[in-house]
Copies of this chain bind each other. A is one copy, B any other.
Amino acid sequence: MSSLARLIASGAVQSRTELANRTGLARSTIGVHLDRLEASGLIREAGLAAASGPGRPARCLGLSPEAGLVLVGDLSVHTARVVVADLTQRLLAQQTYPIRIADGPEDVLAGLEQAWRHLLLEIDADPHQVRTVAVGLPGPVDHSTGTPVRPPLMPGWDGYPVGQVLGERFGCPALVDNDVNMMALGEARALPMTQYPLVFIKVSTGIGSGIIGAAGDLHYGADGAAGDIGHIQVPDSDHVACRCGNRGCLEAVASASSMIRALRDPDADLGTPPGEFTTAELEALVARIAQGDTETTRLVKDAATVLGQLVASLVNVLNPARIVLGGALAAASDDMLAGVRSGVYSRALPLATRNLTLSYSVLGPVCGVVGGVVSAIEHVLSPEGLTVLRS
């Protein structure tokens, strides 16, 4: 049934017949669900689709822009990107503002609520029109409960009921997920299914990935921890401490945190984890990479070599059709992508790379919020979302 909601949300399906053909579900099953969506005002069937065969012309399926709104927040360690969208995926209002995730959940979520309410005012919308909110966080999340689980970069957030708190404030379901999972979903829905399985890798303050399976579903794993590649041990790095408490993690040697430390002090003690840094320092790092500063370029190339070896292993394990590189560091220059490509093509199995596409995100910085919008809309249109709506 999840494929049904996904197809309706995509706006790409014209008729009940097409839905039946593409999901394999009975027309009666589809009919019952569409009738409920129409009764709830979420979709309308207007106009006539071009008849592709005998019989009466099919009615066209359309999502109602007036049927409600979704609120999405994509939170990274230093930045929040928030949007209001309608059910046709149109972004009606958006704002990006600096945060410090380490300020803890009360402060950060109060700021997020304020930002959303401000955007709703801006477009003259009523908070009661909000059908679902979706938030991405830079750490492991138990998405079934909407709760971060021991997130290394988010002091004070462990076990905090983010989903419950936001759901109560807006009186609607609240989806909470890892930020990279949301990015992977956004990217995946912007591409044809021939690009699945898809792995989205974010390289920024931390390093993480989101995995989309052949059928288009996020691979969460047994505990919602799948894709957490930042804490995989990489070769020759046992002397480098990571914020997670382990040593030799990918994130400890190839993230913005490690680069900023190296630029601050080339002789820094690698036996203690890198400390916090400011948004200004991250922006300065990205600027130095973009300018091609020699020392910074060397750091990026070293990081790309380590990342490329690990991505080659990922390719052997998952054999994805597409690997997408995103995040502030990946976007700053071509060195990261070039290094990863080199690692993958020299080390991964030929069979697993013959059809592989390795590229930047087609959506860029809005990838995460688009993923949040898509997951919120797919939830609103699902049988589960409908149940919540009616209770």
Q: Interface residues, chain A, CB within 8 Å of chain B?
A: 1, 24-26, 28-29, 140, 149-150, 197, 209, 211, 213-215, 217, 219-229, 231-233, 235-236, 244, 246, 309, 312-314, 316-321, 347, 349-352, 354-356
Contacts and interface: CB of A to CB of B under 8 A. Distances in A.
A223 B319 CA distance: 7
Contacts of A223: 319, 351-352, 354-355
The 4 residue pairs across chains A and B that have the minimum distance between CB atoms? A221-B319, A26-B26, A26-B29, A222-B321
B29 A225 contact: no
A318 B24 contact: no
A210 to B, nearest CB: 11
Given A224-B319, A226-B352, A232-B317, 19 more contacts: A25-B26, A26-B29, A149-B351, A150-B351, A197-B222, A211-B317, A213-B219, A214-B221, A221-B318, A221-B319, A221-B320, A221-B352, A226-B318, A228-B319, A228-B351, A231-B316, A232-B312, A232-B313, A246-B347
Contacts of A349: 140, 225, 228, 231, 244
Given A29-B26, A236-B235, A317 B226 contact: yes
Contacts of A312: 232-233
B313 A222 contact: no
A355 B312 CA distance: 28
Interface centre among A220, A227, A236, A349 (most CB of B within 10 A): A349
Contacts of A350: 150
Contacts of A220: 214, 319
- Number of chain copies forming the complex: 2
Contacts of A319: 220-228
A221 B211 CA distance: 12
A209 to B, nearest CB: 8
A246 to B, nearest CB: 7
A140 B231 CA distance: 29
A349 B231 CA distance: 7
A178 B356 CA distance: 21
Nearest to A142: B351
Given A229-B317, A319-B220, A352-B221, A1 B28 contact: no
A313 B352 contact: no
Given A28-B26, A28-B28, A225-B349, A232 B316 contact: yes
15 contacts: A1-B24, A26-B26, A26-B29, A29-B29, A140-B349, A213-B213, A219-B318, A222-B355, A226-B318, A226-B352, A228-B317, A233-B309, A233-B313, A244-B349, A314-B317
Contacts of A244: 349
A321 to B, nearest CB: 4
B28 A352 contact: no
B317 A233 contact: no
Interface centre among A24, A319, A355 (most CB of B within 10 A): A319
Nearest to A248: B347
Contacts of A228: 316-317, 319, 349, 351-352
Contacts of A316: 225, 228-229, 231-232
Contacts of A150: 350-351
Contacts of A356: 222
A316 B229 CA distance: 6
Contacts of A227: 317, 319
